[in-house]
Amino acid sequence: MIQNQKGSLTIDFIFALVLVLSMTLLLGVFSFSLSVVESIQYLAFSSSRAYFAGNVSLEEQKKMGQQKFDTLSKDGAYKSFLKKEWFSVTPIGFEDFAETYEKEDSRDIFEGVRLKIVIGLLDLNLPIFGSTTKDGSYSAYINSFIGREPSSEECMGVVANRMNAILKLSNASYSNVGSTAKKAYASFDDNGC
């Protein structure tokens, strides 16, 4: 008869330890991922704010937003934990996402930045339990919609259109002033945009 049964307890302990450590790791990874997502929300806001500020043209505003994103993600504080295998963040675009969000009210603002985050860290292969991934990867979108100030290019466009409209007023004779009516006036924005 086998009298010594101490070994069975060791096997039990190893089995339980693997299960508990796996679950602990999973919970830890999940918590860390959510913390990183919170941090990246600031990254989105900061990039969106750089895009928001008025500039020479829309392209310049987009460039400023992208520049802020690059500065923070590649050289700034985010660099240390934005490892490509763990967290990959890419901007989908700096634009108006009204179509994506099926905007109905003209006052609703969906203009800003939309980032895609792929969390490779959640793609685990735990002993006994197997893989945490069923189909596709763990990804989400992080948005910051704070709108955008008009660029001076757009502003001057509005001013020029307004001037043309004034020149064409039927009850006024602005178009007759001067020998070459259109050249007689110059439009300026007067910081009015």
Where on the chain is the footprint of another protein (CB under 8 A)?
A: 1-2, 26, 30, 34, 37, 100-105, 107-110, 117, 122, 126, 128-135, 138-143, 145
Q: Is 26 exposed, middle or buried (0-12, 13-18, 19+ CB in 10 A)?
A: middle
Nearer CB in complex with another protein: 25/177: 25
Report, in Å, the least distance between residue 186 CB and another protein.
Answer: 32
Q: Check residue 151 and report its DSSP letter.
A: P
- Give me the least distance between CB of 100 and another protein, in Å please: 7
Please report how close the Cβ of residue 162 comes to another protein at its closest, in angstroms.
21
CA distances from 134 to 119, 130, 166 (A): 14, 10, 64
Which 3 state secondary structure label does DSSP give 181? helix
Nearer to another protein, 55 or 69 (CB): 69
> What minimum distance in Å lies between the beta carbon of 98 and another protein?
9
The CB-of-54 to another protein minimum distance in angstroms stands at: 22
Task: Look at the chain and count its residues.
Answer: 193
d(CA 90, CA 73): 10
Q: From CA 97, how far away is CA 108, in angstroms rounded?
A: 11
> Which DSSP symbol is given to 71?
I
Assigned token pair, 57: 């043209």
